[in-house]
């Protein structure tokens, strides 16, 4: 993949969350491989200290003395970006994309979903920024999928395109985390039945997320011991469940994390089948990097590969956990520099 950058333009990138916003500048050597992208002048700001997105970006532009330069901007944000008007979920920030571009005097401005950014970062990752789980080998130029258990279950896919002789990656995002959960054994059926008692519908996100871990724990506590959580003391957070499982201090917590890994393997394998993801399936998000060794010892990879007559597809496709701490910025850089 080749990326060219107009030398007269500054590439401004951002990763915008509900608590923090990270701003930086991206550069790429002319005609070099995508991995030669550099991210410079990273600054992290607390969103609560600014009244609007325009204020924090304008502050960065002032501090870095970029006011008299032409700026191409790409901002990754954790909310829908299809409409001109953007309303952030966890912040009282609402703004028009067109008006923001004009008020900041930007040469160009693109907003992308946070999982689009993570997906765009994948072709740039070095071996030190990811950990391989199990077998399989990536095939160059083939589709790539990513899913990320975190607050929810994010999903995105990359497909290679050739535009005017230039090879680029195009991200196809969606809401794949909300497809119906499909249990593959008796215990998963029982867990689904339990969750159906408290939810109208059971999607994969109901298990593969922070609150999903908590719901699996509640279900197994009831299935194993007939016990329902009735007090604050009985309720464990996803962080507590993970810690107890890794420390082997709670059998139900270990069962919870094991079932989580198994279901994640099945779900990731489904993504590989849907997209024929011979470029690999990547696990992102804030949860799984905390227990990579546990994941390796689980049935994650076996469940990923076990797809009946089409197991050859999943056996070929490699699986990775992303360990890069700033995939949002890296993906925004890739997006703006190949635009």
Q: How far is CA 285 from CA 115, 288, 326, 331, in A?
A: 10, 7, 11, 14
Count CA within 13 A, CB hemisphere, residue 189.
3
Q: Is 306 annotated as a binding residue?
A: no
pLDDT of residue 241: 97
Q: Is 19 annotated as a binding residue?
A: yes
pLDDT of residue 164: 74
Mean pLDDT to the nearest integer, 115-142: 94
pLDDT category of residue 6 using cuts at 50, 70 and 90 = very low
Mean pLDDT to the nearest integer, 189-204: 96
| Rounded-to-integer distance, Cα 26 and Cα 147, Å | 25
Tens digit of each residue's pLDDT (9 = 90 or more) over 206-227: 999 999 999 999 999 999 988 7
pLDDT category of residue 16 using cuts at 50, 70 and 90 = very high
| Mean of per-residue pLDDT scores for the chain | 91
Q: Tell me: pLDDT of 2 over 90.
A: no
pLDDT of residue 32: 42
Counting residues of the chain whose pLDDT is more than 90, the rounded percentage is 78
Q: Is 331 annotated as a binding residue?
A: no
Between vectors from CA 68 to CA 62 and to CA 69, what angle results, nearest 5°? Answer: 100
pLDDT category of residue 155 using cuts at 50, 70 and 90 = very high
Mean pLDDT to the nearest integer, 88-116: 92
Mean pLDDT to the nearest integer, 198-210: 95
**Residues 147, 155: contact at Cβ < 8 Å?**
yes
State whether the Cα torsion 186-264-219-234 is positive or negative: positive
pLDDT category of residue 5 using cuts at 50, 70 and 90 = very low
Q: Tell me: pLDDT of 1 over 80.
A: no
Beta strand 319-322 pairing with 9-16: unpaired
pLDDT of residue 297: 97
The per-residue DSSP string of 252-302 comes to HHHHHHHHHHHHHHHHHHHHHHHHT-TT-EEE-SSSGGGGHHHHHHTTHHH
Which residues, at least 6 apart from 225, have a Cβ–Cβ distance to it below 8 Å?
252
Of residues 37 and 187, more confidently modeled: 187
Beta bridge partners of 172: 157
Q: What are the sequence ranges of the domains in the chain?
A: 1-112, 176-322
CATH class held by domain 176-322: alpha beta
The CATH number assigned to the domain with range 1-112 reads 3.30.420.40
| Rounded-to-integer distance, Cα 186 and Cα 180, Å | 17
Mean pLDDT to the nearest integer, 168-181: 91
Give the tokens for residue 322. Answer: 């992303």
| Rounded-to-integer distance, Cα 295 and Cα 303, Å | 12
Give the tokens for residue 241. Answer: 């469940």
Q: Tell me: pLDDT of 232 over 70.
A: no
Tens digit of each residue's pLDDT (9 = 90 or more) over 313-337: 999 999 999 999 889 999 999 999 8
Which residues, at least 6 apart from 337, have a Cβ–Cβ distance to it below 8 Å?
3, 4, 5, 11, 26, 28, 37
Tens digit of each residue's pLDDT (9 = 90 or more) over 276-292: 999 999 999 889 999 99
pLDDT category of residue 231 using cuts at 50, 70 and 90 = low
| Rounded-to-integer distance, Cα 276 and Cα 195, Å | 31
Tens digit of each residue's pLDDT (9 = 90 or more) over 258-275: 999 999 999 999 999 999
Give the tokens for residue 68. Answer: 């008299």
Q: Is 16 annotated as a binding residue?
A: yes
pLDDT category of residue 151 using cuts at 50, 70 and 90 = confident
Mean pLDDT to the nearest integer, 173-200: 95
Q: Is 165 annotated as a binding residue?
A: no
Beta strand 281-283 pairing with 144-149: parallel
pLDDT of residue 3: 43
pLDDT of residue 35: 55
Q: Is 18 annotated as a binding residue?
A: yes
């Amino acid at each position: 993949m080749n990326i060219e950058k107009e030398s007269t333009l500054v590439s401004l990138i951002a990763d915008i969350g509900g608590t923090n916003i990270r701003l930086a500048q991206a550069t790429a050597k002319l005609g070099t491989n995508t991995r030669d992208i550099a991210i410079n002048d990273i600054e992290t700001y607390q969103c609560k200290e600014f009244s609007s997105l325009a204020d924090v970006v304008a502050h960065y532009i002032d501090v870095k003395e970029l006011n008299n330069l032409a700026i191409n901007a790409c901002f990754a944000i954790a909310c829908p970006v299809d409409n001109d008007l953007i309303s952030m979920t966890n912040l009282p920030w609402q703004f028009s994309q067109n008006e923001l571009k004009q008020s900041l005097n930007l040469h160009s401005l693109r907003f992308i979903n946070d999982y689009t950014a993570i997906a765009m970062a994948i072709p740039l990752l070095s071996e030190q920024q990811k950990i391989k789980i199990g077998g399989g080998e990536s095939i160059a130029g083939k589709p790539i999928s990513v899913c990320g258990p975190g607050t929810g279950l994010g999903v995105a896919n990359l497909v290679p395109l050739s535009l005017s002789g230039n090879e680029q990656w195009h991200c196809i995002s969606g809401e794949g985390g909300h497809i119906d959960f499909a249990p593959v054994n008796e215990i998963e059926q029982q867990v689904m039945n339990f969750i159906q008692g408290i939810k109208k519908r059971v999607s994969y996100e109901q298990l593969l997320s922070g609150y999903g871990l908590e719901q699996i724990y509640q279900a197994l506590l009831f299935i194993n011991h007939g016990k329902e959580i009735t007090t604050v003391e009985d309720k464990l957070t996803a962080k507590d469940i993970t810690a107890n499982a890794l420390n082997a201090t709670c059998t139900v917590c270990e069962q919870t994390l094991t079932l989580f890994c198994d279901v994640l393997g099945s779900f990731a394998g489904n993504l590989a089948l849907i997209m024929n993801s011979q470029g690999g399936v990547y696990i992102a998000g804030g949860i799984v990097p905390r227990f990579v060794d546990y994941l390796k010892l689980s049935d994650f990879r076996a469940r990923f590969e076990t797809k009946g007559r089409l197991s050859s597809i999943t056996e070929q496709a490699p699986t990775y956990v992303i360990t890069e701490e700033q995939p949002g910025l890296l993906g925004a850089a890739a997006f703006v520099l190949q635009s």
